[in-house]
Structure 1
Amino acid sequence: MIDPVTTEIIRCALLQAAEDMNTTLIRSSYTPVIYEAKDCAVALLDREHNVLGQSSGLPIFLGNLEVCTRHTEELYGEQVWQEGDVWVLNDSYVGGTHLNDVTVYGPIFVGGELAGFAASRAHWLDVGSKDPGGSMDSTSIFQEGLRLGPVKVYAGGEPCRDLHEVISRNVRFPHATLGDLRAQVACAMTGQRRLAEIVSRWGLDTVMAARDEIFTQTERLEREAIAAIPDGVYTAGGFLDNDGIDLATPLPVNVTVTVSGDRIEVDLTDCADQATGPVNCGAAQAVAAVRVAYKLLVSGEVPLNGGSFRPLAVATRPGSMLAAEVPAACQYYYSHLGLLIDLVIKALAPVLPGSTAAASFGDSMIVQFSGLDPRTGKLYVSQEATVGGWGAWEGGDGESALVNSVNGNLRDMPIEVLETLFPVRVHRYEIREGTGGAGRWKGGDGVLREYEFLGDTSLSLWFERSVTPAWGLAGGADGAPPRVTLNPGTPQAREMLKVNALPVHAGDVLRCESGGGGGYGAPPR
């Protein structure tokens, strides 16, 4: 037995350790996609790979980093963990994400005994894909860059020079990439120090007793919340616009949610087969997306830990878009995951009216441009997510100009940073008025962002949710879909939502308009 005061102190210490890790990573990184956009997440794990503490960050990595440490141990055995080692992994079929999301992790030893693991995942700007930064038209994982299974990047506290050399020779920005790698290693070392401090203060037995109590509390709270939901089978479905290759064929995403007593099962097997284009993901990320929806509905106020998700089961189908296998392309793995989160919420909306919201604009809406900077003559890549409108709920309007639920703490790029680092000028950045769905409570509005290119560049876009825009609930209207126009108001104007490596020139203007959220409740007469 352990007293509740000690349990709570240790709980907060573990959560703060994870936040310290995240701060180390962000402040030490070399590229703005991490230090400005904060495209990263960290976790502190126990020796059984359960989450002790996870920082604020990208929700789509929710309860997902431990997949990498488990996979490593399954491959090589528990004896593989050695003090001072740090590992790296970015295989899309293990971690579930695209190759740019690199997981760096290491064991934590206290007094010579394995006590846990420190892990982080961060987006590397370039991993050697066929196009700088990433391709919107890849059809194979082998076009998407350097793919690493679990491999040591530090051994006994010393860098593995051979692997550093492999990485350096396979990416377009070796200095910045290795800098971000070292930032993730520093993050792991911070986690090692923090957990060692916690164990040295209370002792490993006390920390593990607190862990067990925290996990038990979390599981009990989640089961109580699920038991309050009426038993039944609930369904919802929608479509991705396309796979980026066949632009005329929408791809179905369907969910079936079964509530039985204090357990929930989410069946994702009725979705499209893995696609030709890069909209696939490994099964681990489909599970993570369901966990995001689950946390939104069931236990949003309870911090994530190893007791979370015990009442939740997720079924996927190997070879499907949500459980892809080699050689499926996975660069834009998250488009169907944002839709999936909204669909789980929609399925349960009839029995959880006070806890559900209408759909959000739903996707990262990526704007990417690259080329030679006329100011320096050097290659650059700018990649940023676009904010949009969230759905209204019973009691309030949806929020405008927020990043989508997949990305959580991720930020859009400040204009000052964008114009300083890259040859571009932003003429307009404003709320796209009237794009939220009408209703008793109105959906949030999207945004309009207009760029002028100051030099010749290569433009790539990935905008989604035009076939299934943000739907309303309880009589609310749908939000407006996204719209992107190159050189608006001119004879050369061209509308498009997806394009890869399109040549554009100095003086060209790009106007990006994100979608609005759905309304809630019938509008007043």
Structure 2
Amino acid sequence: MSDNLTTLRKLDPVTFEVLRRGFDYACERMSQVLQKASFSPIIYDMVDFSSAVFDPDVELIGQTANCPVHIAAMHYSARASLAKFPRETLKDGDVVILNDPYLGGTHTPDVTLTTPIYHNDELVAYAVSRAHWTDVGQSMDTHVAGEGFRLPPLKLATGGVLNRDLMDIIKNGTRTPQYVEGDVQAQLAALWACRDEIRRLANRYGVEVMREGMREILDYTQLRTQKAIEQIPDGVYDGEDYIDSDGYSEEPVRIKVKLEVKGDRVHVDLTGSDPQCLGPINSPLANTVSAIYYSLKFFLDPQAPANAGMYRQIDFTIPEGTWLNPIWPAPTLGCTTAASSKVTGGIWSAIAKAIPERSVASTYADANWFTASVMDPETRENHVFSDLPAGGWGGTPFSDGMHVTMDPLGNCQNLPAETAEMLFPLRYNSFEMITDSPGAGKYRGGAGVRMEVEFVGPGQIITMESSRTREGSPGTNGGGFGSRQKQLRRKTDGSLESVGGLDDEGNWLPQMLGGVQFRPHESFVFESGGGGGWGNPLERDPELVARDVRNEVVSRERARSDYGVVLTDDLQVDLKSTQQARARH
């Protein structure tokens, strides 16, 4: 196969590279337009959206580095849209909208727009924009119908003209109508920006050369992926992870992974994972497949162009009726932000057995996405906002884990306190790294964060998914666990009570939250977890431990108990005492 891929190249290297970057640049333009023109903070500040361009066969050929969990699911949405509106019926300026999790969507707030791109009446590509809308009427429910409006493929625009009736229905189904139409217009503008860039390429090189470029970039990524897989020893490797609960039961929900490497192919088998759940953590097929792809991308030549060429070398078995391939009407609201993280955790734990020298310890393994409402006490107006408090990544074979960084599922950002306080009746009272949250290791994990949001008026957590509240993120190759995540309420007298997860007495509450009420001036406090450690903590350079203590990443007590490092009063390494302490360990 690899020899065939090499000999079939027709384009010279310069043309090939210009086209490859041209496809990616078209997506970059989409993202720039969407971010600058959107109305919702979750889009323009938190960057919870993705942009992609597909060839006429709906194969991914270009993208921006937005949300990986979106990208590899978008072709499912595009194909579902084209099944309803076949390509021969679509005209320039026609746009199909869809957010149904069971028709290629992820969770209901992720809304996908697809449009064909023509050059001289000839179909040359599809532009696809997926963005997380602030609210589609979602709540925590046991039926997908309770998770907001669920749109099958519908014509949002015909010939560039917006379907006003559909737009009115959509606005009636959201708590934030003031945002929705502006966000729709921004997504449409993003599609037109992609169309303009693809047409420029077609004008410059001609349709046939551009199509050859599409074929060759897919083959190129496939070839690089083949070579990367061949570097992993053949074998069958098991892994697992779990979500603490589905919110309606106290039982963990588990993923079982069997990773088979054979030659230049990988087969991911999720047989043995738990059945679909009552609560909203179920992951529709498109979301699970997307999580498989991006989780493997970290180890299968991450520098190769990100396109569907990688998909050709990966097979999967995902039994229907499990929580990772549920049957309607199982709720799916936490699929992108919770379930996909566990797919990553399970695959990475299997990879650690295949290539331990290249393995990475677990991240805090969740997006911790929450949506909340708060009433302005003066105007009585209700506001809805979202946030994504990040945590620590795991240690690697060559470096410490990153502090307070979004889970691998997305390149999103937290909601800036300045934006939140300007738009909503809120106060962000803290956003600080947590000492001793990283897992210990030769290369420690990254730190989690303590976030405290005060509701100026009456408020509630509408929905929140989280995990890692029973135990922290595991380390690898002898590394320690990161800290547990915590969900708390600070009352007006300053006292704290647990609203999810473990309290100080060891009592545990389900960590999937819905409808948690807050009185005026009560605060929601969330502590995100640290990443797992990599390698034996006793092998960590004592000077690095001392630096962590000085920077308040690690406490003096944990420096001694976890790392065997003894410090002087001025926080310098006491070499003799350290050698003795490590010998006793």
Instruction: Using structure 1 for the length normalisation, give the TM-score.
Output: 0.95
CA contact (8 A) 2:76 2:105 kept: no
3-state secondary structure, aligned to 1:285: helix
1:444 to 433, 438, 446: 446
Distance across 2 between alignment mates of 1:494 and 1:68? 39
Distance across 2 between alignment mates of 1:459 and 1:498? 11
Aligned to 2:40: 31
Q: Does 1:505 align with 2:522?
A: no
Indicate how the Cα distance of structure 1 residues 78 and 452 shifts in structure 2: closer, same or farther if over 3 A, else same: closer
1:264 to 260, 266, 282: 266
Q: Does 1:243 align with 2:258?
A: no
Distance across 2 between alignment mates of 1:468 and 1:347? 19
Distance across 2 between alignment mates of 1:426 and 1:172? 23
Q: How does 1:394-473 map to 2 (within 5 A)?
A: 394-407=397-410, 409-460=411-462, 461-467=464-470, 469-473=472-476
CA contact (8 A) 2:72 2:289 kept: no
Aligned to 1:119: 128
Q: Does 1:369 align with 2:378?
A: no
Identical aligned pairs, as a percentage? 31
Distance across 2 between alignment mates of 1:468 and 1:317? 28
Aligned to 2:235: 232
Aligned to 2:534: 520
**What per-residue deviation string (whole Å, max 9, x for no partner) do you get for residues 463-509 of structure 1?**
21223531110111111110122127855633423331222112213
3-state secondary structure, aligned to 1:297: coil
Q: How does 1:50-449 map to 2 (within 5 A)?
A: 50-129=59-138, 135=139, 137-246=140-249, 248-334=250-336, 335-407=338-410, 409-449=411-451
Question: Could you tell me how far 1:168 is from its partner in structure 2?
Answer: 2.1
Q: Does 1:486 align with 2:497?
A: no
Question: Could you tell me how far 1:16 is from its partner in structure 2?
Answer: 0.8
**What per-residue deviation string (whole Å, max 9, x for no partner) do you get for residues 302-335 of structure 1?**
1212312210012111121111121111111131
Distance across 1 between alignment mates of 2:165 and 2:499? 46
Question: Could you tell me how far 1:370 is from its partner in structure 2?
Answer: 0.4
3-state secondary structure, aligned to 2:128: strand
AA partner of residue 46 (structure 2):
A
Question: Could you tell me how far 1:286 is from its partner in structure 2?
Answer: 0.4
Question: Could you tell me how far 1:3 is from its partner in structure 2?
Answer: 0.7
CA contact (8 A) 1:250 1:467 kept: no
Distance across 2 between alignment mates of 1:491 and 1:294? 44
Larger CA deviation: 318-327 vs 27-36: 318-327
**What per-residue deviation string (whole Å, max 9, x for no partner) do you get for residues 350-407 of structure 1?**
2323332100101011233203222443221111111101000111111111111112
Distance across 2 between alignment mates of 1:266 and 1:169? 42
CA contact (8 A) 2:176 2:384 kept: no
Aligned to 2:572: none
CA contact (8 A) 2:375 2:381 kept: yes
Flag structure 1 segments of 5+ consecutive residues without an equivalent: 130-134
Question: Could you tell me how far 1:11 is from its partner in structure 2?
Answer: 0.8
Indicate how the Cα distance of structure 1 residues 187 and 336 shifts in structure 2: closer, same or farther if over 3 A, else same: same
Distance across 2 between alignment mates of 1:437 and 1:145? 38
Instruction: Using structure 2 for the length normalisation, give the TM-score.
Output: 0.86
3-state secondary structure, aligned to 2:187: helix
AA partner of residue 455 (structure 1):
G
Distance across 1 between alignment mates of 2:211 and 2:441? 50
Q: Flag the structure with higher helix content.
A: 2
Larger CA deviation: 344-353 vs 193-202: 344-353
Flag structure 2 segments of 5+ consecutive residues without an equivalent: 1-9, 501-510, 539-581
Question: Could you tell me how far 1:254 is from its partner in structure 2?
Answer: 0.8
Distance across 2 between alignment mates of 1:305 and 1:366? 27
CA contact (8 A) 1:364 1:403 kept: yes
Aligned residue pairs, count: 517
Question: Could you tell me how far 1:462 is from its partner in structure 2?
Answer: 2.6
Distance across 1 between alignment mates of 2:59 and 2:441? 43
3-state secondary structure, aligned to 2:258: strand
3-state secondary structure, aligned to 1:358: coil
Indicate how the Cα distance of structure 1 residues 13 and 448 shifts in structure 2: closer, same or farther if over 3 A, else same: same
AA partner of residue 442 (structure 1):
R
Indicate how the Cα distance of structure 1 residues 148 and 368 shifts in structure 2: closer, same or farther if over 3 A, else same: closer
Aligned to 1:132: none
CA contact (8 A) 2:488 2:496 kept: no
CA contact (8 A) 1:450 1:509 kept: yes
3-state secondary structure, aligned to 1:449: strand
Indicate how the Cα distance of structure 1 residues 174 and 451 shifts in structure 2: closer, same or farther if over 3 A, else same: closer
Question: Could you tell me how far 1:81 is from its partner in structure 2?
Answer: 1.9
Return the index of the structure with the highest Cα Rg: 2
Indicate how the Cα distance of structure 1 residues 394 and 174 shifts in structure 2: closer, same or farther if over 3 A, else same: same
Question: Could you tell me how far 1:301 is from its partner in structure 2?
Answer: 0.8
Q: Does 1:42 align with 2:51?
A: yes
3-state secondary structure, aligned to 2:47: coil
Larger CA deviation: 209-218 vs 348-357: 348-357
Distance across 2 between alignment mates of 1:264 and 1:197? 38
3-state secondary structure, aligned to 1:428: strand
Indicate how the Cα distance of structure 1 residues 486 and 53 shifts in structure 2: closer, same or farther if over 3 A, else same: same
Distance across 2 between alignment mates of 1:348 and 1:139? 34
AA partner of residue 81 (structure 1):
L
CA contact (8 A) 1:239 1:467 kept: no
AA partner of residue 276 (structure 1):
L
Distance across 1 between alignment mates of 2:198 and 2:496? 59
CA contact (8 A) 1:240 1:468 kept: no
Distance across 1 between alignment mates of 2:36 and 2:230? 43
Distance across 2 between alignment mates of 1:306 and 1:459? 38
3-state secondary structure, aligned to 2:335: coil
CA contact (8 A) 1:63 1:304 kept: no
Task: Please tell me the root mean square deviation across aligned C-alpha atoms, in Å.
Answer: 1.5
